[in-house]
Amino acid sequence: MKHGYTGTILWVNLTEKKWWEEETDDDFASKWLGGSGFGAVTLARNTDAQTDPLGENNVLGFFTGPLTGTVVPSSGRHSVVGKSPLTGIWGEASVGGSWGRELKRAGYDGIVLLGKADSPVYLWINEGGVEIRDAAELWGLDTYQTAERLQELHPGAQVCAIGPAGERLVRIAGLFTDGKEGRAAARCGLGAVAGSKNVKALAVRGTRKPTLAFEEELKAKVREAVKRIKEKTKALREFGTPGLVIPCEQIGDFPVRNWRDGKWEEGAKSISGPRMVETVLSGRFHCAGCPIGCGRRVNITSGPYKEVNGGGPEYETLGLMGGSCLIDNLEAICYANELCNRYGIDTIDTANLIAFSIEAFERGVIGKEETGGLVLRWGDPGILIELIHQIGQNKGFGAVLAGGFKTLLNGLGPEAKEFAIHVKGMGFPAHDPRAYNSIALGYATANRGACHLEGFSHVFERNVTMPEFGLSEPLDRFSVEGKGKLVALTQNLMSVFDSLALCKFLLFGGVGIKDLAEWVKLGTGFDFTPEKLMEIGERIFNLKRYYNVKCGISRKDDILPPRILEQRRGCGGAAENLPPLDRMLDEYYAARGWDEDGIPTRETLERLGLGDFIF
């Protein structure tokens, strides 16, 4: 096996209480890279359209990349995959922290969980394999408490855990690592998949270091790159992702009042990155091996939100709890963020569902009868917090929200669809597609539903360039021509990042595909070129799409809510733009080699070496 990898995947059958190790070979690694790529092939081989996401037959996989745990910067991430109970299709969440590095040190490139334990368990994984241990005493604890308890039992271990929401099969529950720092594999409801398997947590500890093909050369390259990355990302280190709040509000990229309005200037200032630095910020942290360190710690010591002490809200949380629910109280958002982390739920879907509910209440689509007597109002932190408790505990009106948009809309009239802001059942991240045309296409075609990270194309419409792809200048964000090609290209590139399990924020540090190819080559010994990596990225993206097609996805699902396609906001930095999605989709499908209905053609699948998967 090439360097970088351990060459071993740990498989655990929870029903039969058995585990075994499977070796991977060079062919497999060079075709799928790792992380998200290993996840794609695992899901495609072990689940199908009939698999119930919360049934025993779903799989839950955790995968590192070939550079995880090495000197390569920002390489501490890993991917979690499973069929999503939120969307019913491909499900994946990439997460930072230190858990992925620890798994590699324990000797594994990944873990796959099959079946269902007959009572709550946690997995204790170390260099000797895995023990399936009773988790009765952990069941009911929040994610921070679980990590703390398991670290008492297993000093030095890294913990990935679900909270009470995952236990109660809340479909927007995630898996959380790094204890109080609250790094989250939040999206797609994969915490509920763990809960459905009765798995409370995975504690892992290891000491092995991956070998490298050309260690000294790699170190030298990395030294050079780290200098550049640090220099170019000073602002990201200083303000974290909350630094996005003010500029995104200015350029019309910020969700305001459930995506209805275009401006919220004073509100944005009061929950911004600079405001956080002046008020609640108590420290900064970074994922394993990251020279950027965008993580924020917040601490509130007095007032109604005084228990807060841990990872602070990211941009997405500030945008959606703040702008979309019109809450301009930073401390309240920090508190709500921590509650979500502790219950183990996705702040993005949580806040989207709450903003939608407030509007539905305002319009009379739902009333006190549905909300259990709650009066839902904009700008009310009390309502936000109460609904988070209800979602986390899967009770009251929160139990309706806990199913996500798909189930929520089933019970409401057609009017509700107009302002339910989701794609394929997953709520929007805090970037408005009316501010960047490419993000409209990215949300519509991302394999896991509305996702800005699967394409990350909007950064090329704003400040990032990549001359090797002909992107020497940022593109005009409102232009249409070429956006189909751009999104296909950036989705392939992001598939490479996710499969190497590297952080995409490296792009802001000037890291491009040439660096990635060089690092992988020096790390693993594979003779990868940028072109070869991009072909692998394309293969992985197409396999996920093909999986979704088999689950019934086609052009009819590659859509955006009417509000986003038809309603101009009339003010703010993108007041008049509406993304012409259909036109861009035609170009995109052509660039991908898919037919007009968005189905990958046989030729495309065979060209990418996916012939084995055609069924």
- Residues lying near ligand SF4 in the complex (CB under 6 A) are found at 74, 96, 286-287, 290, 292-295, 503, 505
Task: Answer with the entry of another protein, ligand SF4, none that 286 interacts with (C-beta below 5 to 8 A by kind).
Answer: ligand SF4
* Nearest to another protein of 317, 542 (CB atom): 317
Q: How far is the CB of 471 from another protein (least distance, A)?
A: 13
Q: How many CB atoms lie within 10 A of CB 100?
A: 32
Residues 249 and 548: their CA atoms lie apart, in Å, by 34
Residue 335, helix vs strand vs coil:
helix
* Nearest to ligand SF4 of 166, 291 (CB atom): 291
Site for another protein in 453-492 (CB under 8 A): 453, 456, 461-463, 473-474, 477-478
Residue 405, helix vs strand vs coil:
helix
Site for another protein in 493-512 (CB under 8 A): 504-505, 508
Concatenated DSSP letters of 261-288: BS--HHHHHHTSHHHHHHTTEEEEE--T
Residues 221 and 520: their CA atoms lie apart, in Å, by 11
Task: Answer with the entry of another protein, ligand SF4, none that 403 interacts with (C-beta below 5 to 8 A by kind).
Answer: none
Edge-first strand order for the sheet with 309-311 is: 281-285, 295-299, 309-311
Q: How far is the CB of 98 from another protein (least distance, A)?
A: 19
Concatenated DSSP letters of 370-398: HHTT----TT-HHHHHHHHHHHHTT-HHH
CA-to-CA dists, residue 355 to 4, 146, 335, 414, angstroms: 44, 30, 17, 18
* Nearest to ligand SF4 of 178, 538 (CB atom): 178
Task: Answer with the entry of another protein, ligand SF4, none that 295 interacts with (C-beta below 5 to 8 A by kind).
Answer: ligand SF4
CA-to-CA dists, residue 516 to 32, 40, 221, 379, 501, angstroms: 15, 20, 11, 44, 11
Site for another protein in 562-601 (CB under 8 A): 573-575, 577
Identified binder of another protein from the candidate list 316, 386, 498, 518, rule CB under 8 A: 316
Identified binder of another protein from the candidate list 181, 253, 386, 454, rule CB under 8 A: 253
Site for another protein in 270-309 (CB under 8 A): 272-275, 277, 294
Task: Answer with the entry of another protein, ligand SF4, none that 508 interacts with (C-beta below 5 to 8 A by kind).
Answer: another protein
Q: How far is the CB of 136 from another protein (least distance, A)?
A: 37
Q: How far is the CB of 274 from another protein (least distance, A)?
A: 4
Q: Is residue 95 within the footprint of another protein (CB under 8 A)?
A: no
Angle, helices 530-550/35-46, rounded to nearest 10 degrees: 30
Q: How far is the CB of 62 from another protein (least distance, A)?
A: 21
* Nearest to another protein of 203, 245 (CB atom): 245
Q: 361, 360, 354: which is closest to 339 by C-alpha?
A: 354
* Nearest to another protein of 269, 417 (CB atom): 269
Q: Is residue 447 within the footprint of another protein (CB under 8 A)?
A: no
Residues 185 and 78: their CA atoms lie apart, in Å, by 9
Residue 527, helix vs strand vs coil:
coil
Q: Is residue 228 within the footprint of another protein (CB under 8 A)?
A: no
CA dihedral over 17, 18, 22, 28, signed as positive or negative = negative
Identified binder of another protein from the candidate list 129, 247, 482, 593, rule CB under 8 A: 247
Q: How far is the CB of 77 from ligand SF4 (least distance, A)?
A: 6
Stretch that binds another protein, among 160-168, 198-206, 229-237, 329-337 (CB under 8 A): 229-237
* Nearest to ligand SF4 of 4, 96 (CB atom): 96
* Nearest to another protein of 233, 258 (CB atom): 233
* Nearest to another protein of 176, 460 (CB atom): 460
* 81 class by beta-carbon count within 10 Å (0-12 exposed, 13-18 middle, 19+ buried): buried
Task: Answer with the entry of another protein, ligand SF4, none that 290 interacts with (C-beta below 5 to 8 A by kind).
Answer: ligand SF4
Q: How far is the CB of 425 from another protein (least distance, A)?
A: 20
Residues 404 and 212: their CA atoms lie apart, in Å, by 44
Residues 271 and 264: their CA atoms lie apart, in Å, by 11
* Nearest to another protein of 469, 613 (CB atom): 469
Residues 336 and 107: their CA atoms lie apart, in Å, by 37
Q: Is residue 239 within the footprint of another protein (CB under 8 A)?
A: yes
Which residues share a beta bridge with 80?
62, 93
Residues 559 and 579: their CA atoms lie apart, in Å, by 11
* Contact of 255 with 320, CB cutoff 8 Å: yes
Q: How far is the CB of 574 from another protein (least distance, A)?
A: 6
* Nearest to ligand SF4 of 505, 526 (CB atom): 505
Task: Answer with the entry of another protein, ligand SF4, none that 605 interacts with (C-beta below 5 to 8 A by kind).
Answer: none
Residue 428, token pair as written in the block: 């929007």
Q: How far is the CB of 287 from ligand SF4 (least distance, A)?
A: 3
Q: Is residue 384 within the footprint of another protein (CB under 8 A)?
A: no
Q: Is residue 241 within the footprint of another protein (CB under 8 A)?
A: yes
Q: How far is the CB of 179 from ligand SF4 (least distance, A)?
A: 15
Phi then psi for 265, rounded to 5 degrees?
Answer: -65, -50
Q: Is residue 259 within the footprint of another protein (CB under 8 A)?
A: no
Residue 90: enclosing H or E segment and its boundaries?
Answer: strand 90-95
Residue 448: enclosing H or E segment and its boundaries?
Answer: none
* Nearest to another protein of 245, 360 (CB atom): 245
Residues 272 and 247: their CA atoms lie apart, in Å, by 10
* Nearest to ligand SF4 of 252, 319 (CB atom): 319
Residues 124 and 145: their CA atoms lie apart, in Å, by 17
Stretch that binds another protein, among 239-247, 283-291, 581-589, 595-603 (CB under 8 A): 239-247
CA dihedral over 246, 381, 443, 60, signed as positive or negative = positive
Q: How many CB atoms lie within 10 A of CB 607?
A: 16
* Nearest to ligand SF4 of 96, 166 (CB atom): 96
Q: 32, 18, 84: which is closest to 63 by C-alpha?
A: 32
Stretch that binds another protein, among 2-10, 242-250, 362-370, 411-419 (CB under 8 A): 242-250
Q: Which residues bind another protein (CB under 8 A)?
A: 231-236, 238-241, 243-244, 246-248, 250-253, 269, 272-275, 277, 294, 314-316, 429, 452-453, 456, 461-463, 473-474, 477-478, 504-505, 508, 573-575, 577
